[in-house]
Amino acid sequence: MNVIVLLKQTPDTESVIRIAADGQSILTNDLKWIINPYDEFAVEAALRLKEKHGGTVTIVSWGPQRVVESIRTALAMGADTGVLIDDPALEGSDSLGVAKALAAAVKELNPDVVVCGSRAVDYDLAQRGPMVAELLGWPHLALAVSLESDGAKVTVERPVEGGKVTLEAALPTLITLGGSHAVWNPRYASLPGIMKAKKKPLAVKKLADLGMDEAQCSGQAAKIKMVSFEMPPQRAAGRIIEGEDGAAKARELVRALHEEAKVI
């Protein structure tokens, strides 16, 4: 079984985010970059399929050369090959432009299954997987917290209110992974894995290499544009309700909630 993981590199969730002078982007020069945690679940799910059915796991990503580090991390975890779409035309592109490039890369590789995180922790748009599936004309199974296959179809579970629902789709299909680290428990890259990853093949491609017209994926073709960024307002200081006794404090609290906060 040949599996592709669509991997996005995102800022570390502990990074301090600062808005750039243009008000439409963030400063990136001192950020630490990591594999999007939900895509890390996808790497683990792909490796489990490989261990059970054989085949290969290919990591496909996009962005500048710094993304190579994240692809190599996934290769150290056990993936076999990597593809990086590094093209200046993708700068300023939106989810649809990126999805078109990813779908073109997937078509070249002709996999049985494509997996990726259900969302990314930077912009949290949850668009990449569904868009790629639509462009490929494949089924999309969303928010999977388990993944099994018999070689002809895949079966996933996804959470619903008060329980889980089981979904099936014939191959090829695209699956977006939900859940948590406790659900997927992604493996760590071992020292031998890190050493082997340095020698595993990693192809760097331009849009032209994928048969893509730059105009389809450029920032000029973007349907969504970032208009402005702003930090959330600073929280007001907390307030301590004063009073002679519990009853007086309760009366003052009710009055404040009713007259000042206007929540009751």
Same domain membership, residue 166 and residue 100: yes
Alpha helices in 63-201 (DSSP H): 67-77, 95-109, 128-136, 181-184, 191-197
Residue 231 resides in a domain: no
Specify the DSSP element, H or E, that contains 147: strand 146-149
pLDDT score of 215: 87
Residue 208 resides in a domain: yes
pLDDT score of 197: 95
- What is the domain extent for residue 263? 236-264
Same domain membership, residue 252 and residue 193: no
Residue 81 resides in a domain: yes
Same domain membership, residue 17 and residue 95: yes
Q: What span, in angstroms and rounded, lies between the C-alpha atoms of 42 and 113?
A: 11
Q: What span, in angstroms and rounded, lies between the C-alpha atoms of 168 and 156?
A: 6
Q: What is the pTM of this model?
A: 0.87
Q: How many domains does the chain divide into?
A: 2
Same domain membership, residue 180 and residue 106: yes
Residue 226 resides in a domain: no
Same domain membership, residue 125 and residue 27: yes
Residues 6+ apart with CB under 8 A from 260: none
Q: What span, in angstroms and rounded, lies between the C-alpha atoms of 57 and 68?
A: 16
Residue 104 resides in a domain: yes
Same domain membership, residue 186 and residue 126: yes
Task: Work out the percent of the chain whose per-residue pLDDT is above 70.
Answer: 100
Same domain membership, residue 246 and residue 198: no
Q: What span, in angstroms and rounded, lies between the C-alpha atoms of 19 and 231?
A: 8
Residue 75 resides in a domain: yes
Q: What span, in angstroms and rounded, lies between the C-alpha atoms of 26 and 174?
A: 31
Same domain membership, residue 153 and residue 262: no
Same domain membership, residue 211 and residue 263: no
pLDDT score of 244: 87
pLDDT digits (tens, 9 = 90+) for 12-67: 989 898 999 999 889 988 899 999 999 999 999 999 999 999 999 999 999 999 99
pLDDT digits (tens, 9 = 90+) for 87-111: 999 988 999 999 999 999 999 999 9
Same domain membership, residue 242 and residue 159: no
**What φ, ψ does residue 53 adopt, rounded to 5°?**
-115, -5
pLDDT score of 172: 97
Q: How far is CA 218 from CA 91, 98, 124, 222, in A?
A: 7, 9, 21, 7
Specify the DSSP element, H or E, that contains 3: strand 2-6
Does residue 23 sit in helix, strand or coil? coil
Does residue 255 sit in helix, strand or coil? helix
pLDDT score of 62: 97
pLDDT digits (tens, 9 = 90+) for 205-250: 999 999 999 888 888 889 888 899 998 888 888 889 988 899 999 9
pLDDT score of 201: 97
pLDDT digits (tens, 9 = 90+) for 102-143: 999 999 999 999 999 999 999 999 999 999 999 999 999 999
